[in-house]
């Protein structure tokens, strides 16, 4: 298959290869059905590869646009928000494209691909028929925020979370979420000036392993919000662009309407508010969520209190 596939927005950049970019062809229906485009779920119909030169040639012909983007801390309800914004025929939401993970790893390791990053952003900014694109990257891709801002590639909103809510959300997911969050803190350390010192302080104090995990969890949150804060200042964006996760959970319809207004959309999928964001065929149980949070407090309240006191002494901030 040759480069004409690059001029069809059904073909999306999916992964980096040694000499180019792997593309996947999908459809609005399959993209909408998938909770994530990071490889956890099948969403593609065909695959092919193109050289970096061919990718760059095609990207030069795409309109230069800032793609509406939902940038978010981890475990904050952003998938639910993206479902609310995903209206058939009007919008197409790309949830956590895998290629952002690869690009973020390159940036974190000190080997960025700025041209490919700009070209990838341009690919996701294309309309699919009449549907306007929206991107919800993974929180791992928060490493790309400075690069996206420098390239003027995004029109963002920022979803944040109160520190104690974040601790509960991470610990609620057990070893998997705790492990991911500790890796995320390390992943972002080179991108936030004070992050190495925060991590050293978090891991240097005495305590049980879960005490260390709670402190590192707050470093991960502080690094993410620092990147968002700098982005908002550079782009001269008002605080209206900052959405607190508590609003998504308490009144998802209102949160969706707020973001839709910012992005200039005239409709949301209000029915998504009652469905489970990561399993759209199931209903969301707010009572179950509250019961789980209460269980976290019963087990970890003292640990969370201590971590929050440590964060205050350390000078961590959690506002975007």
Provide, rounded to the nearest whole percent, the portion of the chain with pLDDT above 90: 85
Q: 136 lies in which domain range?
A: 64-314
Give the whole-angstrom CA distance, residue 149 versus residue 241: 15
Is 45 among the domain residues?
no
pLDDT score at 104:
98
pLDDT tens figures, 81-134: 999 999 999 999 999 999 999 999 999 999 999 999 999 999 999 999 999 999
Bridge-based pairing of strands 242-244 and 67-72 is unpaired
Residue with tokens 């199931």: 282
Q: List phi, psi (to 5°) of 106.
A: -65, -45
pLDDT average, residue stretch 209-223: 98
Question: Cβ distance 245 to 81 under 8 Å?
Answer: no
**Does residue 147 belong to any structural domain of this protein?**
yes
The total domain count for the chain is 1
Q: Give the C-alpha distances (Å, rounded to integers) separating 160 from 225, 243, 244.
A: 7, 6, 5
Q: Which CATH number is 251's domain given?
A: 3.40.50
Q: What is the pLDDT of residue 34?
A: 92
- pLDDT above 70 covers a percentage of the chain that reads 95
88 inside domain: yes
Tallying the residues shown for the chain, one arrives at 320
What's the confidence (pLDDT) of residue 289?
Answer: 77
Residues whose CB is less than 8 angstroms from the CB of residue 291 and which lie 6 or more positions away in sequence, other chains included: none
Query: How much is the pLDDT for 286?
Result: 67
Whether residue 24 is contained in a domain is answered as: no
Mean pLDDT value across residues 160-166: 98
Q: CA-to-CA distance for 194 and 222, rounded, in angstroms? A: 10
Q: Give 231-263 pLDDT, tens digit per residue.
A: 999 999 999 999 999 999 999 999 999 999 999
DSSP the chain: --GGGGGSTTEEEEEEETTEEEEEE--HHHHHH-S-SSSSS---SEEEEEEHHHHHHHHTTS---PEEEEEE-TTSSHHHHHHHH--TTTEEEEES-HHHHHHHHHHHTT---HHHHHHHHHHHTS-BTTBEEEEE--GGGGGGHHHHHHTT-EEEEEEE--HHHHHHHHHHTHHHHHHHHHHHHHHHGGGSTTHHHHHHHHHHS-S-HHHHHHHHHHHHHHHHHHHHHHHHHHHT--GGGEEEHHHHHH-HHHHHHHHHHHTT-S---GGGGGEETTEEEEE--HHHHHHHHHHHHHHHHHHHHHHHHHHHHHT-----
Half-sphere exposure of 189 (CA within 13 A, CB side): 18
Structural contact between residues 136 and 100, judged by C-beta atoms closer than 8 angstroms: no
Tell me, yes or no, whether 2 lies in a domain: no
Q: Is residue 123 in some structural domain?
A: yes
Question: What pLDDT sits at residue 278?
Answer: 65
Note whether residue 68 is domain-resident: yes
Please state the rounded mean pLDDT for residues 62-85. 94
* Beta carbons within 8 Å of 56's beta carbon, 6+ residues apart: 115, 119
pTM for this structure?
A: 0.94
Residue 16 has pLDDT above 60, yes or no: yes
Task: Specify the pLDDT at position 283.
Answer: 55
Residue 9 lies in a domain: no
**pLDDT tens figures, 284-299:** 556 777 888 899 999 9
pLDDT of residue 144: 98
- What per-residue confidence (pLDDT) applies to 1? 42
Q: Between β-strands 154-160 and 67-72, what pairing exists: parallel, antiparallel or unpaired?
A: parallel
């Amino acid at each position: 298959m040759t480069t004409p596939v690059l001029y069809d927005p059904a073909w999306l950049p999916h992964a980096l290869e040694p000499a180019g970019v792997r593309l996947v062809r999908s459809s609005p229906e399959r993209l909408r059905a998938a909770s994530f485009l990071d490889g956890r779920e099948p969403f593609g119909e065909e695959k092919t590869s193109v050289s970096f030169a061919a990718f760059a040639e095609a990207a030069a012909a795409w309109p230069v646009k800032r793609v509406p983007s939902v940038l978010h801390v981890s475990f904050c309800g952003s998938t639910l928000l993206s479902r609310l914004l995903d209206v058939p025929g009007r919008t197409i939401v790309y949830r956590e494209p895998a290629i952002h993970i690869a690009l973020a790893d390159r940036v974190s390791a000190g080997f960025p691909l700025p041209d490919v990053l700009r070209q990838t952003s341009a690919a996701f900014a294309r309309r699919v028929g009449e549907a306007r694109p929206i991107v919800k990257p993974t929180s791992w891709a928060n490493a790309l925020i400075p690069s996206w801002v420098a390239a003027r590639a995004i029109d963002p909103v920022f979803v944040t979370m109160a520190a104690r809510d974040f601790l509960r959300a991470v610990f609620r997911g057990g070893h998997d979420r705790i492990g991911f969050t500790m890796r995320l803190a390390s992943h972002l350390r080179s991108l936030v000036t004070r992050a190495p010192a925060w991590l050293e302080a978090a891991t240097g104090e005495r305590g049980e392993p879960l005490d260390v995990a709670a402190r590192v969890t707050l470093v991960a949150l502080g690094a993410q919000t620092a990147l968002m804060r700098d982005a908002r200042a550079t782009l001269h964006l008002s605080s209206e662009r900052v959405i607190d996760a508590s609003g998504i959970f308490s009144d998802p319809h209102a949160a969706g309407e707020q973001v839709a207004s910012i992005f200039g959309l005239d409709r949301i999928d209000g029915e998504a508010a009652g469905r489970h964001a990561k399993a759209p065929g199931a209903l969301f149980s707010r009572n179950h969520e509250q019961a789980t949070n209460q269980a976290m407090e019963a087990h970890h309240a003292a640990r969370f209190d201590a971590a929050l006191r440590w964060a205050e002494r350390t000078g961590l901030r959690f506002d975007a």
